[in-house]
Amino acid sequence: MSTSIPYMMRANLLSPLDYVDYTSKSLDHLGIVATVCKEIGLADEIDRIVGVDPRQKVTCGEAVVAIA
């Protein structure tokens, strides 16, 4: 028969100070993606296919390019 251990005792919770060797790197690809989208006219093509409602503040094409 096994005994259950309370949830918080099972969790291996580390504080941010425990991550001394943590490093981060910048992913500088966003400028490249934005440039390619602009060069191929991706937003305009999406807007042409989907259509643009004059009430929209952001077109579908602009939204797609923003999340790309």
Calculate the alpha carbon distances from 50 to 37, 44, 47, 62 in Å. Answer: 17, 10, 5, 12
Average pLDDT over residues 11-31: 64
Domain membership of residue 50 (yes or no) is: yes
What pTM, to 2 d.p., does this model score?
0.55
Domain count for the chain, please give it. 1
Q: Is the pLDDT of residue 3 over 60?
A: no
Domain membership of residue 11 (yes or no) is: no
Q: What is the pLDDT of residues 36-55, one digit of tens each?
A: 999 999 999 999 999 999 99
Domain membership of residue 35 (yes or no) is: yes
Domain membership of residue 14 (yes or no) is: no
Higher pLDDT, 14 or 53: 53
Q: What is the pLDDT of residue 49?
A: 96
Calculate the alpha carbon distances from 3 to 6, 7, 8, 9 in Å. Answer: 10, 12, 15, 13
Length of the chain equals 68
- Domain containing residue 61: 23-67
Higher pLDDT, 55 or 23: 55
Q: What is the pLDDT of residue 33?
A: 85
Domain membership of residue 13 (yes or no) is: no
Domain membership of residue 32 (yes or no) is: yes
